[in-house]
A and B are shown apart, each in its own frame.
Chain A
Amino acid sequence: MRVEINLNGKPFAADVEPRMLLSDFIRHEACLTGTHVGCEQGGCGACTIQVDGRAVRSCLLFAIQVDGSTVRTVEALSDERDGALHPLQEAFRECHGLQCGFCTPGFLMSLEPALASGPLDDEQAIRDAISGNICRCTGYAGIVDAVRHASNTIWNDPDIGTVDDLGSLGEDAPRSGAGDE
C-alpha cells in the first residue's frame, strides 16, 4: 500500500505492506535512523515521534495508520535550526541528560510538545512528563535537570522563548510524554 506523509516538513511516500510498523517505515524506508527501537512492546518509549503534533510510540502504529499525517522525528529539531541544537538538546548536554544516547531521541520527542504548552519546572510534573520513557543509563537526574533548564531557557529568555521557536506544534499539544496511541 502507498503511504504518503509529510516527514519533517517534506513529502515522503513509499509502497509498504499493511503490517509494516511505523518505526520500521521511518527507519528503513525513510532511512531516518534517529528514531530508535528499544522493545516493540510499547514499553520503553525510545521510538517516540510526533504525529500531527502529538507524541506517539512509532512501534505501536502501522505505517498505513499515519497516511496523510504530518510526522516529526528527532532529526527535525536541529534541521529546523540549520544544524544548531534546540534549547532542549542544549539543556540535555549541559545537564548530562544522556549517556549512551539510545533513549534520548524518544525523550526529546516526548518533551518538546510538553514544553511547548507551557513552563515545565516542577520536579513532579517533569517526572510525570517523562514517565513513559525509560532511560537505563542516567537514573533520570540529568534529564529532570535538563527539562527544568530548558523550560527556564525557553520561557524566561525573550530571545529564545517563543513557542514558535519550538517548531510546528499547536497550543493544545499534550503535556504528557506517554503516547496516546
Chain B
Amino acid sequence: MSEMIPRLVGQRVKRVEDPRLLTGRGEYVDDVHLPRMLHVALLRSSVAHARIVGIDTAAAAELPGVHLVVTADDLRDRVQPIVCDILPPGAWQTSAYPILADGKVRFVGEPVVAVVADSRYVAEDALEAIGVSYEELPPVMTVTAAEAGPETQVHEAWDEAWFTHKQLRVGDIDRVFAEAAGVTRRSVEVGRHTGMPLETRAIIADYNPSSNALTVHMTTQMPHIMRTGLADHLGMPEHQIRVISKDVGGGFGVKAELYPEDILVSHLATRLGRPVSWVEDRREHLLGTIHAREHFYELEAAWDESGRILAVRAEIRVDGGAYSVYPYSASMEPGMAMGVLTGMYDVPVYHADSWAIATNKTPLGPYRGVARPSACFAMERLMDAVAHDTGIDPLELRRRNLVRADQMPHTTPSGLEYDSGDFEATFRKAAEILDYDATREQQEELRGEGRYLGIGVGSYVEQTAHGAAEFVKRGLPVIFGYDTSRIRIDASGNVLVHPTSHSHGQGHETTIAQVVADALGIEIERIRVVYGDTQDVAYGSGTLGSRSMVMAGGAAHLAAVELRDRLVRIAAHNLEVDPGDLEVADGEVRVKGSPATAVAITEIARWAHHRPERIPSDLEPTLEVTSSYGAPPGTGAFSHAVHMALVEVDPALGTVQVLRYVVAEDCGRIVNPMIVDGQVTGGVAQGLGGALLEEIVHDAEGQPLTTSLLDYLWPTAHDVPFVEIGHLESLSPFTIGGIKGMGEGGAIAPGAVIAGAVEDAMRPLGGGFVRKVPLTPERVLNLLNVDPTGRVPESHEENQK
C-alpha cells in the first residue's frame, strides 16, 4: 500500500463547492429547464390496503393541456416492477413494488395514476378529474397485528408476516442465564422517521428517439446503480442511458434507492419523445419516499455481581412497510441491527432473532446510520437498565463492559472485525469534556431548587467503508465492493478527478482534492473534482455507508500516485537523473536536496501531450489513470464515539431542553477537521430530531397523520445546541492513510443519550423506564405512570395509536 504523506490532508481547507452554492448557481434537478418539457403529477392511493375495483381517467384525459394519462394497464409488459430479493440462502419472501399500483394498493401514497401535462398545475387539475374505486381491505398497521395472522396479508402469497427472518447463536446462553447473578429484561422501540432532505426527490428524463438515448437528471446518491436499475426495469441497453446527478440537496440515504417514479418518468419520456419532469412535493415526500427506523426490541441481559454483562438475548422486529427496496432489500435493516447491537461492549454470549415484517406503510430503508441508531438505542437502554438494576453508575457500568484496546483487533459475536480503537480513552474524553462528576453535583444541587436535569450516555462502534466481505455476508443483491477514481492531467497541467462517489453536502470536491493535491504535490486550486455524470465517471457505487473518503478517496490517492510516478519518470528522463533521486512538491518535480534542478509539472504535462519525443519509450504516454480501491479485507474500518448530554425537563409541560451535547469521536485520520465537525454536528441534529421531535404517525386505518411540516417536526435552530466535540485518532490498519468513514456517526447515539438523560432527570419524580423515542411531551409526562423496570400496561395501546 502506498503511503500517504499528509500536507493538505488534516488541514481546515475551505470548501471548493461553496461559492457556487452560496451565489445560487448550483444545479439541482429542478433547475434544469429543457425545451418542450412536460410535467407529471401522480394520483396516489388514499387508502392503506384495498383492491382497485376501477379507475376512470376519461375526463382527465380530455382536459386541455393533458398529454397522457397512464395506469398499471398501460405499463404492463413495458416496465418491470421493482423486485429486490436477498441472495440465497436465507429465509425470505419476495415482494413486487409496482411502478403504478396493479390491482391492489398497499400503502397510503402508493402511485396509482400518472398524468403528463403542459404544466404541473394542469397535471394536478387532471388528478381531480380521476375517479378510483377501492374495495377496502383490513390494513395491517403494526408488527404485532402482522404476526397475529391478519385477515388479509399484505402480500397474499405469503405464509408468514415477514420478508426475512435471521438468527444468530453464539455460546451456551441457557447455562449463562441460569448461573448469572441477575437478569435484566426490557422492551424498547424507536419511532418511524424519515431522512427529509431539504430538496425533495426530482427526475427529468429526456429521450432522443433518433439515437434511442435516454438522459436522466435525477436526485440520487448513486448514479450508476440507478442507471443499471433503469436499464433492467425499462428493458433498455444500459449504454443508451446516461444518468446525471449534479447538485443534490441532501440525501441521508433516502436518495439511494430506485423508486417507481424513476422508472415511470423515464418510461413516459421514451413514450412521448419529449422531456418529462417530476418534482416531488413535500406531502408526497412524506408519503412516498422511504421511511426509516421503527424497530422493536425484546432484550435480556445476564450479568454477574460486578455488573459484567455475560450474555445478551435479543428479538428484533423492523416494520418494513409494504415492499422490499432496491438495491438493499428489506433484510438490511434487521440484519444490521442484529450484527451491530453489542456495540462497544464485550458480550461473549449472544443470541438474536431478527425479522423485517410487512405492513401497509411506506417501504422502509436506510437513513443516516441505517439500523445503528435503533440498535444503539436498544443496547444503551439495556445498559441503563442494568445500571438501574445493579445500582452501578451508568458510566461506570459501561466502562466495566468495554472491549479493551489490548483486545484489538477484536471479533464480535456477530463476526464484525473491529480493527482499532481505544474505547475507554474515548469514554474518558467525553466525560472530561462534560466534566461528568461536577455535572452530577450540579444536577443534585439543582434538584434542590426544583429543577430536573439529567445526564445521558451513549456509545457506538460504526462500521464504515465495508467492502465486499460485509455486503456478501448481508446477502444484498448488489454488493458495494470497491470504488474507482479517474484522474487526468491536461496539457496545461491542471487536474480533473472523477470519483465514483457522489457528494450531496459532504464536500468531496474539497476533501478528494486535498488527497490528490498531496499525492501530486500541486496546489488545490489546480484540481477540479467532478462527480455525478455516468458519461464521465467510471462505474461505481456512489455514496452510501460512510465509505466515500476511504474508498473513492483511496482510489484517488492510488491514481494520483501512479500519475506522480509517471511525472517523475518523464522528469528523470529529461533531467538525466535517476527517478529515485527526484521528489514532487510545490508543483514541480525536483532533485532531492538540490531543488534548483527541477521541472514544473505544467511543463511535463505539455510534453506528455505535445512533445512525445520527450517521453521515455517504455512509459504509457498519457497522463490519465483509473484506479479502484476496496479497502481489503473489506470487513470495514471501525469508527466509534461516545456521546453525552445534559438535559433539563420541565415536569409540568413534558418539554426537554438539551443544555449540552458532547461528542468524543475517533474516525481515524481526519482529512478536513472543519468538515468532520460539520458532519458530526449535522448528524447529532438529525439524531436529536429523532429523539425529541420527528415521528411518522398513522391512525388505525393506516392514514398517515404527519404529511406536512406542521406535523412532522424538523429541528430548528432553537432545538440544537452547539455540539462540543473532542477527537481521537486511531488509524485503521486496513485503509490508505488510516482514514475511516464518519458521515453517519453523529446521528447514531442521540436517541439513546436523550432517553437516558430524560429518564435520569425524571427519576426523582418517580419517573420510569424510557422505552420509546421520540420523547414527545406526552411521552415524557407518561413516564410518571411507568415503573422502573419498564412495564407499561398501555405500551401496546400507544403503539396502536
Show the binding face of A for B, using Cβ within 8 Å: 17, 19-20, 27-28, 31-41, 43-44, 46, 73-75, 77-78, 83, 85, 89, 92-94, 96, 98-105, 108, 126-127, 130-131, 133-144
15 extra interchain contacts, Cβ-Cβ under 8 A, other than A85-B22, A101-B20? A33-B27, A39-B281, A41-B709, A43-B708, A85-B19, A93-B14, A99-B682, A102-B199, A105-B24, A127-B718, A134-B714, A136-B682, A139-B682, A141-B677, A144-B722
Q: In the complex, A172→B469 CA distance in Å?
A: 62
Are the CB atoms of B30 and A27 closer together than 8 Å?
Answer: yes
Verify if B505 is at the interface (C-beta below 8 Å from A): yes
Are the CB atoms of B723 and A139 closer together than 8 Å?
Answer: yes
Are the CB atoms of B717 and A140 closer together than 8 Å?
Answer: yes
Q: What residues of chain A lie closer than 8 Å to B247, measured between beta carbons? A: 100-102
| 14 A-B interface contacts by CB (under 8 A) | A20-B121, A36-B199, A40-B282, A43-B710, A83-B23, A100-B248, A100-B504, A101-B247, A102-B198, A127-B717, A130-B717, A136-B197, A137-B682, A140-B717
Tell me the chain B residues, 718-738 only, with Cβ under 8 Å from chain A: 718, 720, 722-723
Are the CB atoms of B23 and A99 closer together than 8 Å?
Answer: no
Verify if B25 is at the interface (C-beta below 8 Å from A): yes
Tell me the chain B residues, 463-509 only, with Cβ under 8 Å from chain A: 504-507
Q: What residues of chain A lie closer than 8 Å to B504, measured between beta carbons? A: 100
Q: What residues of chain B lie closer than 8 Å to A31, measured between beta carbons? A: 33
Contact among A32, A37, A101, A136 with B21 in the assembled complex (CB-CB below 8 Å): A101
Are the CB atoms of B505 and A139 closer together than 8 Å?
Answer: no
Are the CB atoms of A139 and B30 closer together than 8 Å?
Answer: no
Write the nearest CB–CB distance from B128 to chain A, whole angstroms: 14
Write the nearest CB–CB distance from B16 to chain A, whole angstroms: 10
Q: In the complex, A83→B250 CA distance in Å?
A: 26
Contact size range, B: 35 or more
Write the nearest CB–CB distance from B595 to chain A, whole angstroms: 33
Write the nearest CB–CB distance from B139 to chain A, whole angstroms: 26
Closest Cβ neighbor of B713 among chain A residues: A43
Q: What residues of chain B lie closer than 8 Å to A100, measured between beta carbons? A: 21, 197-199, 247-251, 504-505
Q: Nearest 6 CB-CB pairs, A to B?
A: A34-B24, A43-B709, A102-B249, A101-B21, A99-B505, A139-B685
Query: Mask for B315-349, Cβ within 8 A of A = 1, else 0?
Result: 00000000000000000000000000000000000
**Interface SS majority for chain A:** loop
**Interface SS majority for chain B:** loop
Contact among B26, B675, B708, B709 with A96 in the assembled complex (CB-CB below 8 Å): B675
Are the CB atoms of A137 and B505 closer together than 8 Å?
Answer: yes
Contact among B15, B17, B23, B30 with A75 in the assembled complex (CB-CB below 8 Å): B23
Are the CB atoms of A102 and B678 closer together than 8 Å?
Answer: no
Q: What residues of chain A lie closer than 8 Å to B708, measured between beta carbons? A: 39, 41, 43
Task: Contacts A127-B717, A141-B723 given; indicate if A98 touches B22 (C-beta within 8 A).
Answer: yes
Are the CB atoms of B24 and A75 closer together than 8 Å?
Answer: yes
Contact among A83, A93, A96, A134 with B678 in the assembled complex (CB-CB below 8 Å): A96
Verify if B681 is at the interface (C-beta below 8 Å from A): yes
Are the CB atoms of B722 and A141 closer together than 8 Å?
Answer: yes
Tell me the chain B residues, 1-52 only, with Cβ under 8 Å from chain A: 14-15, 17-28, 30-31, 33
Q: In the complex, A138→B18 CA distance in Å?
A: 14
Are the CB atoms of B282 and A39 closer together than 8 Å?
Answer: yes
Q: What residues of chain A lie closer than 8 Å to B199, measured between beta carbons? A: 36, 38, 100, 102
Q: Which of B249, B678, B717 has the most CB of A within 10 A?
A: B717
Are the CB atoms of B681 and A139 closer together than 8 Å?
Answer: yes
Verify if B594 is at the interface (C-beta below 8 Å from A): no
Verify if B716 is at the interface (C-beta below 8 Å from A): yes
Write the nearest CB–CB distance from B433 to chain A, whole angstroms: 15
Are the CB atoms of B505 and A141 closer together than 8 Å?
Answer: no
Tell me the chain B residues, 241-286 only, with Cβ under 8 Å from chain A: 247-252, 281-283
Are the CB atoms of A74 and B249 closer together than 8 Å?
Answer: no
Write the nearest CB–CB distance from A63 to chain B, whole angstroms: 12
Q: What residues of chain B lie closer than 8 Å to A93, measured between beta carbons? A: 14-15, 18-19, 22
Task: Contacts A75-B24, A136-B197 given; indicate if A99 touches B678 (C-beta within 8 A).
Answer: yes
Contact among A89, A99, A131, A136 with B506 in the assembled complex (CB-CB below 8 Å): A99
Q: In the complex, A94→B677 CA distance in Å?
A: 14
Q: What residues of chain B lie closer than 8 Å to A37, measured between beta carbons? A: 30
Tell me the chain B residues, 651-680 only, with Cβ under 8 Å from chain A: 674-675, 677-678
